[in-house]
Amino acid sequence: MLELTELHNFKSPEGAKVFSYKTLDGVSLRVSIWNKDSKKGSLLLQSGRTEFTEKYFEVIDEFLQRDVCVAMFDWRGQGLSDRLTKNRFIGHVNDFSEYDKEFQEILKEVYSDLCPKPWIGMGHSMGGCLLVSAEVKNPNSFDAMILCAPMLSMHISTKNEILALIIGFLSKLGFRDQPFETPEWDEIKGWHERPFEENEVTSDKKRYERSANLLRKNEKLAVGGLTIGWVHEAVKRIRLIRRSKWLEKIKCQTLLLNATKDQLVSSSLNKKMCTKNTNIIVADIEGEHELFMEKDHIRKKAWKEVDKFLKRIL
């Protein structure tokens, strides 16, 4: 079932068009589009790893209030798109190029007909990484971009650098679909979310628990762990972005929402790389990784920067 999952106090904005699109390599992706008749343009929203469309209802509604079309699809291996491993709760991808290909296919075969231009690509975390990848590999994919705590770097210590080498070795030996981190799920207890006190993405308990309640309502949305292959591919892509200086090649107007308390990506390194390109505006926001799932005063600062940016673009 592809319908959007709702809570009694957290529902999808009205008018959603929800459907499945099968890619050329046979993977079914769930696509959702709102306000396709907008005269102002489209916000193409891409989530991070483990995330799903429903988690962004609040953000989608806020963009709809700004009278743009909003389009979103669940990446392969998560949300209600096809899963790639026998254990549907573990995140996996064979190669990041699969993300690249499905993104370009959705842009060409789906969004080009349904989403009015100009196109503003917005990506959080992994979604931001793949947004940059799309724009560099296919220039002019977007008229502008918003990168929210993008996975352009990671907090990697010397110990983790060694671990990354071991992961690469195991990946080459054929263990790509084996767990690197097990999901928060078992056959007896079912799905259980990490306690708020242990989370690394937001200081807002209400929004954190709201996402957990969506997973409790529909376990099929859940992804917790990840495979050796996914980790290996993520490290490869981040290194490619840095070594090939992809961020310096971006030509469209771009806003970096830089989460200065981020525990997952390096906000200082992201800022250092992005400030080398005059097309990228850097806005430091004192919040954790999921800026739009943060407390109201933090979200307000992020929206202030977004609105200033949209005023320049639309």
301/172: higher pLDDT: 301
- φ/ψ of 18, rounded to 5, equals -120, 130
Mean pLDDT of 165-170: 57
Q: pLDDT per residue over 98-115, tens digit each?
A: 999 999 999 999 999 999
Percent of the chain at pLDDT > 70 equals 88
Taken in order of first residue, the domains within the chain and their CATH numbers are: 17-313 (3.40.50.1820)
Task: Specify the pLDDT at position 90.
Answer: 87
Question: In whole angstroms, what is the distance from residue 21 CA to residue 31 CA?
Answer: 7
| Residue 181: pLDDT band with limits 50, 70, 90 | low
User: What average pLDDT does the structure give for the chain?
Assistant: 91
For residue 187, pLDDT over 90 is answered with no
Q: What is the DSSP string of the chain?
A: --SPP-BTTB-PPTT-EEEEEE-TTS-EEEEEEE-TT-SS-EEEEE--TT--GGGGHHHHHHHHTTT-EEEEEPPTTSTTSPPSSSSTTEE--S-HHHHHHHHHHHIIIIIHHHSPSSEEEEEETHHHHHHHHHHHHSTTS-SEEEEES-SS-----HHHHHHHHHHHHHHHTT-TTSEEE--SEETTTEE-PPPGGG-SS-S-HHHHHHHHHHHHH-GGG---EEEHHHHHHHHHHHHHHHHTTGGGG--SEEEEEEETT-SSS-HHHHHHHHTT-TTEEEEEE-S-S-GGGS-HHHHHHHHHHHHHHHHHH-
Task: Specify the pLDDT at position 228.
Answer: 80
Task: Specify the pLDDT at position 164.
Answer: 55
Task: Specify the pLDDT at position 191.
Answer: 57
For residue 193, pLDDT over 90 is answered with no
For residue 188, pLDDT over 80 is answered with no
For residue 182, pLDDT over 70 is answered with no
Q: Are 135 and 142 in contact (CB under 8 A)?
A: yes
For residue 197, pLDDT over 50 is answered with yes
| Residue 306: pLDDT band with limits 50, 70, 90 | very high
Q: pLDDT per residue over 134-156, tens digit each?
A: 999 999 999 999 999 999 998 75
Per the rule left: phi > 0, alpha: psi between -120 and 50, beta: everything else, 50 is: left
The pair of structure tokens assigned to 227 is: 């495979």
290/177: higher pLDDT: 290
For residue 235, pLDDT over 70 is answered with yes
For residue 162, pLDDT over 80 is answered with no
Task: Specify the pLDDT at position 180.
Answer: 64
Q: pLDDT per residue over 252-296, tens digit each?
A: 999 999 999 999 999 999 999 999 999 999 999 999 999 999 999
Mean pLDDT of 26-50: 98
Task: Specify the pLDDT at position 183.
Answer: 59
Task: Specify the pLDDT at position 158.
Answer: 39
Task: Specify the pLDDT at position 240.
Answer: 94
Q: What does pTM read for this prediction?
A: 0.93
Mean pLDDT of 208-230: 90
Give the least confident one: 136-145, 165-174, 256-265, 297-306.
Answer: 165-174
* Strand-pair partners of 190: 186
For residue 215, pLDDT over 80 is answered with yes
